[in-house]
Amino acid sequence: MHAHTREVDPLAEVVLRTEDDFLAIGCEEFFFPFGRALRDPQHPLIYDVNCLRAAVGRPSMDELWTAFRKIGGRSTRYQRVVSRAPETIRWLDELLLPRGFSRQACVAMVHRGGVPRAPVPEGYEIHLVDREDRALIEKVCASQDSVRRKEAWYGTVVSEQMDEMALRQMRLGGAEFLAAVTRTGRVAGSLLLWCHDGVGFIADVGTVPSHRRKGIASALVAAATVVAREKGCDLVALTARRDDAPRRIYERLDFQVVGESVDWVRSS
């Protein structure tokens, strides 16, 4: 049984709503009585932004089909629903799992104060990437592509669309890349930081496979926390898959789990 359905912590709601707002930058939005739908016609292969988010209540399959059609029907790669409401999670498990949807749980995590301790590994520097530094941004995108290649959903076009979306989040939303750079100028890892309404939201943390197990991800997240504090953010937050290794990295940096969301996805 999927038992993780405790009541939603108000802080978790802040984090998960911030994630929704971050993903919505540049997207079309539609609001239904049972959730918030995002559609990104320019990037139809990315399921994070072509889906129903913040689902609530007990939507019927017909209602969900209405949302899927509005999002793009079969022009999108996946059908995806995300919820953080415990009763809705129980309902959607019963409704969607027998219909071929897979299930994944993510945790909302926060750093409440101070700065995490994580030294920058020898031979690397952490850079806050200038939005006009096209050469470095191209290297960051190349590093992100190498990180994504292990994912089951990976495809060259999908990865290119994700890069375009990140650049749009920079251009329209003010997000910034932080990059771990070697002495020879290679990007070994990176993340995206969005500071909004007092919350520093960290996304897309990734280390190039050949540079892993050196503490680069920890150093990047610690540096992003410093930047967010300098920008006046009282709260620094991120989300992670509940059962994956990166969560342990963030816990060692004193990020605490404050809530969960669940998503259900299947191919269109």
Does the structure show a pLDDT above 60 at 3?
A: no
Given strand 199-207, what is the order of strands in its sheet?
28-32, 35-39, 51-53, 78-83, 256-267, 102-111, 235-241, 199-207, 187-196, 176-182, 124-128
Considering only CA atoms, which of 105, 36, 46, 40 is closest in space to residue 77? 46
> What is the pLDDT, as a whole number, of residue 171?
97
Mean pLDDT, rounded, for 245-255: 95
Mean pLDDT, rounded, for 73-97: 93
- Considering the chain, what percentage of its residues have pLDDT values greater than 70? 97
> What is the pLDDT, as a whole number, of residue 7?
61
Mean pLDDT, rounded, for 252-259: 96
> Residue 4 — very low, low, confident or very high, per pLDDT cuts 50/70/90?
very low
> Residue 2 — very low, low, confident or very high, per pLDDT cuts 50/70/90?
very low
**Cα 50 to chain centroid, rounded:** 14
> What is the pLDDT, as a whole number, of residue 6?
52
Please provide the CATH number assigned to the domain covering 124-233.
Answer: 3.40.630.30
> What is the pLDDT, as a whole number, of residue 8?
66
> What is the pLDDT, as a whole number, of residue 46?
94
pLDDT, averaged across the chain: 94
Considering only CA atoms, which of 265, 220, 257, 217 is closest in space to residue 240? 257
At 90-140, the pLDDT tens digits run 999 999 999 999 999 999 999 988 888 899 999 999 999 999 999 999 999
More confident residue, 153 or 23: 23
Q: Are 140 and 129 in contact (CB under 8 A)?
A: yes
Token digits of residue 45: 């292969």
* Domains of the chain by residue range: 10-109, 124-233
Among 3-12, 63-72, 212-221, the least confident range: 3-12
CA–CA dist 47, 45 (Å, integer):
6
